[in-house]
Amino acid sequence: MRIDVLTLFPDSFKPFEESIISRAKKKGVLEINIINIRDFTKDKHKKCDDTPFGGGAGMLMSVQPVYDAVKSVLTKNSKVIFPSPSGKIFNHKIAKEYAQEEHLIFICGHYEGIDQRLIELFNAEEVSIGDYVLTGGELPTMVIIDSLSRFVDGVLSEQSLQEESFSNGLLEYPQYTRPQIFEGLKVPEVLLSGNHQEIAKWRKHQALEKTKKVRPDLIKGDKVED
Ligand code: ADE
């Protein structure tokens, strides 16, 4: 899968040089290009912001450099995503859908956002990572890429995907590792029993109890689907 990220702050994407994402890039299952929108400005002072028509606080990103940056990577199979607090709420299901795409283009907004016509021209999908406002689109873009990349073939093992939170509509059961007793707290006996049927039963029960307590909305089935 290929992902192009258009941003005014390319250095923000240094975290992609670490861990699973970096391994996926090296393995060739994920290609991520970070593109500086400022390289596309035709303004002699390299300006990339402009005032909103109708007045109001703050600035918008200039139309021309964003438009040209998108055009430079757009193909007929591209899906354009604009992370924004005004978008639909991102979740596990959307992450899985994005992972099936051939090519994603992320526009990282800054200042007060982008001109509505850019959203319309590129049929950009507005997506929010939660009901709060961040200072720019870089963090949401990283969150979305990180989470979708886990569903790209070859990035993770099949088992780790099946057993994680949300994969069956529930939060994940609690996990334990060595030592068997730590600070006086014991690992639940059933996990040491070697009885896989009992372990699976216990885990399912724990996942259900945790979900009921922390995220009852998921039990009603109105948020997360497989
Ligand atoms: N940009 C600023 N805040 C955001 C949010 N909550 N989700 C996605 N993009 C954003």
- From first to last of its 226 residues, what are the pLDDT tens digits of the chain? 999 999 999 999 999 988 888 888 889 999 999 999 999 999 999 999 999 999 999 999 999 999 999 999 999 999 999 999 999 999 999 999 999 999 999 999 998 899 999 999 999 999 999 999 999 999 999 999 999 999 999 888 776 777 777 878 899 999 999 999 999 999 999 999 999 999 999 999 999 999 999 999 998 755 544 4
Cβ proximity of 101 and 153 under 8 Å? no
Expressed in angstroms, the distance from the first to the final Cα of the chain is 22
Opening angle at CA 203, ends 198 and 205, nearest 5: 95
- The tokens for 128 are 């929010």
Predicted pLDDT of residue 222:
53
Decide: 113 in ligand 1 pocket, CB within 6 A. Answer: no
Ligand 1 proximity of 126 Cβ (cutoff 6 Å):
no
Angle subtended by helix axes 19-27 and 138-149, to nearest 10: 60
**Which atom of ligand 1 is closest in space to residue 132's alpha carbon?**
6
Residue 126 backbone dihedrals phi, psi, to 5 degrees = -85, 125
Q: Is 83 in the pocket of ligand 1 (CB under 6 A)?
A: yes
Atom of ligand 1 nearest to the CA of 133: 3
Burial class (CB in 10 A: 0-12, 13-18, 19+), 106: buried
Number of Cβ within 10 Å of residue 58's Cβ equals 10
Residue nearest (by alpha carbon) to ligand 1 atom 5: 85
User: Which residues 6+ apart lie within 8 Å of 141 measured at CB?
Assistant: 5, 7, 81, 83, 106, 108
Instruction: With H, G, I as helix, E, B as strand and everything else as coil, classify residue 103.
Output: strand
Residue nearest to ligand 1 atom 9, measured at CA:
84
Residue 107 pairs with which residues in a beta bridge?
6
| Tokens 């885990």 sit on residue | 203
How much distance in Å is there from the Cα of 151 to the middle of ligand 1? 22
